[in-house]
């Protein structure tokens, strides 16, 4: 697999990181449509990478003793994009990544569907694993994306840090 340009992959927010002299490609997407993890994995990385690590966060069917029917994500779009970009840039500056993709859903998401997909490629696995762990932990802590769980008898807003 050779690295594709943003127009070839179709990702609207792909660009080399300004904070990274290695010309790491960073892709940030907020979308209402279902996420295709296979596409993200296919489009992340290059032939020079020995590792591609991905994380898929999915909506689960139970939470805090309740049966969850679905989840709804709300976002402060402009700020969320900036924060996601900043987090990805920090990850690429701390670890030797060649490519980093973060795609997050908003709107209603069904049980089992992906709400976030993160993919990071690197010449070596350790950097990619550490970067993906850092990204998901930091996204949950800092990005203005809120989630609401829906149950058969009501709903509640959830602290996304867990």
Q: How many C-beta atoms surround the C-beta of residue 79 within 10 A?
A: 12
What pLDDT digit, counting tens, does each position of 9-27 carry?
Answer: 445 544 444 444 457 899 9
Q: Residue 6: its pLDDT value, please? A: 42
What pLDDT digit, counting tens, does each position of 26-47 carry?
Answer: 999 999 999 999 999 999 998 8
Q: Which domains are present in the chain?
A: 9-154 (3.90.1170.40)
Higher-confidence residue of 94 and 21: namely 94
Three-class SS state of 17: coil
E strand or H helix at 99: strand 99-105
pTM of the model: 0.86
């Amino acid at each position: 697999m050779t690295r594709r340009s943003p127009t070839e992959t179709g990702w609207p927010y792909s660009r080399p990181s300004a904070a990274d002299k290695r010309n790491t490609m960073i892709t940030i997407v907020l979308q209402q449509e279902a996420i295709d993890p296979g596409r993200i994995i296919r489009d992340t990385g290059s032939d020079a990478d020995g590792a591609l690590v991905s994380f898929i966060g999915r909506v689960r069917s139970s939470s805090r003793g309740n049966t969850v029917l679905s989840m709804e994500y709300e976002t402060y779009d402009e700020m969320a994009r900036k924060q996601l970009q900043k987090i990805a840039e920090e990850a690429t500056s701390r670890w030797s990544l060649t490519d980093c993709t973060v795609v997050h859903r908003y709107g209603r998401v069904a049980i089992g569907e992906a709400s976030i997909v993160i993919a990071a490629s690197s010449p070596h696995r350790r950097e990619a694993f550490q970067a993906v762990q850092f990204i998901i932990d930091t996204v949950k802590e800092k990005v203005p994306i809120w989630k609401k769980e829906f149950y058969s008898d009501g709903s509640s807003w959830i602290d996304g840090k867990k």
